[in-house]
Structure 1
Amino acid sequence: MPTLRELLNSSIQTLQNAGVPSPEVDARELVLHALGLNRTALLTRANEEISATDAAKVAALIEHRAARIPLQHLIGEVEWGGIRLKTDARALVPRPETEVLLTLARQNVERRTWNVEKHSDHDPRSTIHDPLTILDIGTGSGALALALKAALPDAQVWATDISAEALALARENAELNGLEVHFELGSLFADLRGPFDLIVSNPPYLPAADKLTADPEVRHDPEVALYSGSDGLDLARALVAQAGDFLAPRGTLLLELDPRNVRQMAQEMRGWHTEVWPDLTGRERFLNAQREH
């Protein structure tokens, strides 16, 4: 029977041979998940022998990962934005860069609230709803909507998605975290009336041609959550065209887009004041917009 160290090393080698981008990290996560161990065990129990049954559990997970099934699908959940999320093929796996969008949304609310408290006696247009109203369009697993609700428990949060399967997963994640979000099935603004103080969205933004060169893991995500026309902006354009009718006075629209097309979207938004912000690697990705009138 192999020791824990031997099992981990052989798992790493299998993933390396399969071309998995991060074989050491993924092998470690899968070994620990299969055996129900914490990271300390890799040091304190490295020389312990692993039973044939447990070794088979590890081998099965490693085989699936070598076939390029996403790590998050195999583990079944991910820590994201301060909450736990179930992850599977029903919705896009939440990406680390989208946590920046979450941070920008929270900062926007904090800055807006501070401005209201400072200027409300002088400018009645600065008022915001009580409670704060937030809408997440294309919620997928519910990541953004639920993380915002967790961070802003007094806010009223709505979320829409065109996929019934994705919304089912989002509702499961809401129950998992004990959070109340109003979910609506439908495209973009569905049957909502607004107005909303903050609208956030991580819509599909990849050009259709990217399907030809997508990493194997990406092919396990729903295509409807990834691709949006020849330049990746079909859905974003439709969203922007309607957003002004659903924003409260001085409300904010926050979008995550592709570094290749975020500037194009900003340039097309006539009648909006726009800012483009970078992700943690310095690539322009996020669009902050308010109506000029």
Structure 2
Amino acid sequence: MPLLESLVKRRKNREPLSYITGKAEFFKRQFSVDERVLIPRPESEQLVAQTINYVRKLGIEHPRIADIGTGSGAIAISIALEMPSAEVFATDISSEALKVAQMNAHKLGAEVEFTQGNLMGTLQGKFDLIVSNPPYIQSQVIKSLEPEVLREPRIALDGGPNGTEVISPLLEEIRKKLKPSYSAAYVEIDPPIADIALKTAQAKFSYAEVSILTDLAGLIRCISIENN
């Protein structure tokens, strides 16, 4: 009974249910989560689906794939498990987040090479695909978010005053690390910053097909960059 009362109290204090249970579902699998990482959202599954579809469409046999700002590792691990022939890398600036990601990879039996660092600074070579769910919420909007969301790591949410403080340098690093042909990048964004994020991507990837992708609900979900 004391345990139940404790759990109820935590929920009344607006602690996210996933932090209370220590679990979150993502791409048909259960991941361990706690206050060190952002809780994986179903909407981010589109990054995994787009990656899988692109690899299969082009018939890339052994793709090199990078997940930037991996957090719990949900995206990178899902990709690795869905495509065993892929070589998957994942980075995060937070050493604590990487501990959670490594735990999830071990638990689920996924082969992912994790490295700590800012954006793609620790990664060597070129990649066939790069995915990222970076912080993209405008700083002034953070305080108006639901109390549950405010319990999550701010570093994983706050995209600066215009929401592109991380996305802009990330796109520049993607430009340098993406293979020049038959390659793609998918970066999750927030609808309010769609225009500026799209223009930034188009300026950096004038040679590629750059577009906005929507989810099943018709909501803006990510920037797509494809070198076909």
Q: Give the TM-score normalised by structure 1.
A: 0.73
Which residue pairs with 2:108 in the alignment? 177
Matches for 1:81-96 after TM superposition, within 5 Å: 81-96=27-42
1:153 and 1:138 mapped to 2: Cα distance? 21
Which residue pairs with 2:214 in the alignment? 278
Q: Gapped runs of 5+ residues in structure 1?
A: 1-54, 114-127
Which residue pairs with 1:259 in the alignment? 191
**How far did 1:64 drift?**
0.5
**How far did 1:163 drift?**
0.4
2:62 and 2:5 mapped to 1: Cα distance? 51
AA matched with 1:253: A
User: Is 1:207–1:227's contact at 8 Å kept on the other side of the alignment?
Assistant: yes
More helix by share: 1
2:133 paired with 1:202: yes
User: Is 1:106–1:148's contact at 8 Å kept on the other side of the alignment?
Assistant: yes
1:279 and 1:261 mapped to 2: Cα distance? 16
2:147 paired with 1:225: no
Structure 1 SS opposite 2:170? helix
AA matched with 1:92: L
* Root-mean-square deviation (Å): 1.4
2:2 and 2:219 mapped to 1: Cα distance? 42
2:79 paired with 1:148: yes
AA matched with 2:9: E
2:172 and 2:121 mapped to 1: Cα distance? 14
User: Is 1:137–1:203's contact at 8 Å kept on the other side of the alignment?
Assistant: yes
AA matched with 1:66: K
Q: Deviations over 1:121-162 (max 9, x none)?
A: xxxxxxx5x521100000000010000001001100000000
Which residue pairs with 1:118 in the alignment? none
1:247 and 1:275 mapped to 2: Cα distance? 17
1:68 and 1:245 mapped to 2: Cα distance? 42
Which residue pairs with 2:98 in the alignment? 167
Structure 2 residue corresponding to 1:287, chosen from 209, 223, 226: 223
Report which of the two structures shows the higher radius of gyration computed on alpha carbons.
1
Matches for 1:1-293 after TM superposition, within 5 Å: 55-113=1-59, 128=60, 130-248=61-179, 249-268=181-200, 269-270=202-203, 271=206, 272-291=208-227
**How far did 1:291 drift?**
4.8
Structure 2 SS opposite 1:276? strand
User: Is 2:43–2:221's contact at 8 Å kept on the other side of the alignment?
Assistant: no
Q: Gapped runs of 5+ residues in structure 2?
A: none
User: Percent identity, aligned pairs only?
Assistant: 35
